[in-house]
Amino acid sequence: MMRRPVRVAVTGAAGAISYSLLFKIAAGEMMGKDQPVILQLIEIPQAMDALRGVAMELMDCAYPLLHTITLHDNVEDGFKNAHYALLVGARPRGPGMERSDLIEVNGEIFARQGKALNDYANRDVKVLITGNPANTNALIASRNAPDLSPSQFTCLTRLDHNRAKGILANQTGATPRDVNGIIVWGNHSPTQYPDLHHATILGEPAINQVDMNWYKEEFIPKVQQRGSEIIQARGLSSAASAAQAIVDHMHDWVLGTEPGEVASMGILSDGSYGVEKGIFYSFPVRCNYGRYQIVQGIELNDFSKECLKVTEQELLEEKAVVNHLLPEETAASHDNLSICLRSGVTLYADGTGPDQDSKFMTTNRVM
């Protein structure tokens, strides 16, 4: 028996990542092989012709799970009633543009998208920001959505996580499925910290199976710089691997992480591991029942503590650049996130779920 279709909104739907992503979603790789989807595809007005072409190709695949495709040249229409919103579209860095200029132009786009999600999306929409700078764009979107919980917003660091897993497997002669417990901490940028101290290969500590020099001098910079390495080799930025990472992130969030496995997700910091509250930071998480929870109690050595601080500092600096896009009214909810709210519990129509007076998650929808 078929389930009711869910609405998946995607921005930047005529871009390079979406050209892989949309076909995976329609094939059931993200939400499961029994979950029909409605794709609400969003682009800027100049790209609507290209988007029509993508929609025709989707139609021509005749995917049994693809219920409907709708095309939109604005986010207000495109986000209507969305259960999942994948914010992929962003302005790329142009010639002569500094990173701070990029943060600024994209910041405005994500402020509008946060407001549109607040006003039009389903009340328990799950949001994933991929467009760069992903962590800071997630903060801007979340801060501009006062009626949604900050726990509903996440940003993509799964590509870094998958890269770390793939590179480690390749180095040690293992296969990726033998590798567990990879963690990527912090920003989706070259300051991120891919941490192998808790990883295992076939159950044995990974760190004992690699040379410490290789870990610090080769592995960490390689994962951090992998995006540039791919641009140099291909002349184009990573797109198919980013699409796969988006699928993995949403799949785990909605359907749960494998038993015993952790995923890396960019989420609002609740102060865990001493990371300052109020920024989107990549943490190790476990997911079930559509919720995520930070894995607690991981021991950090001095080297790791230092790496966590460096990437935290960069995020605080990015936050300062976009401060004018962060409305005061949402400061408190972001600076004092509680564990209960972060778990993203859905309130059901029969009254089960979190407290009725909870400011967030007041949906009646049962999925």
Ligand X SMILES: NC(=O)c1ccc[n+]([C@@H]2O[C@H](COP(=O)([O-])OP(=O)(O)OC[C@H]3O[C@@H](n4cnc5c(N)ncnc54)[C@H](O)[C@@H]3O)[C@@H](O)[C@H]2O)c1
Q: Is 251 a known active-site residue? A: no
Farthest CA pair distance, the chain = 57
Sites for ligand X among residues 160-189 (CB under 6 A) = 188
Buried residues in 11-40 as b, exposed as e (16+ CB within 10 A): bbbbbbbbbbbbbbbbbbbbbeeebbbbbb
CB of 149 to ligand X, least distance (A): 22
CB of 59 to ligand X, least distance (A): 19
Q: Which of 9, 11, 36, 111 binds ligand X (CB under 6 A)?
A: 11
Binding residues for substrate: 93, 99, 132, 163
The 10 Å Cβ neighbour count of residue 347 is 21
Q: Which residue, chain included where needed, has tokens 């207000």?
A: 76
CB of 275 to ligand X, least distance (A): 19
Q: Does 132 bind ligand X (CB under 6 A)?
A: yes
As to burial, measured by CB atoms within 10 angstroms (0-12 exposed, 13-18 middle, 19+ buried), residue 68 is exposed
Region of 159 please: left (phi>0), alpha (psi -120 to 50) or beta.
Answer: alpha
Q: Does 92 bind ligand X (CB under 6 A)?
A: yes
Between 169 and 239, name the residue whose CB sits nearer to ligand X.
239
Q: Which of 239, 300, 310, 367 binds ligand X (CB under 6 A)?
A: 239
Sites for ligand X among residues 137-156 (CB under 6 A) = 156
Site map 102..121 versus ligand X, x via CB under 6 A: -------x------------
Of 72, 161, 188, 249, the active-site residue reads: 188
CB of 134 to ligand X, least distance (A): 4
Return residues touching ligand X (CB under 6 A).
11-12, 14-17, 42-44, 47, 88-92, 109, 130-132, 134, 156, 159, 188, 237-239, 242
Q: Which residues are catalytic?
A: 188
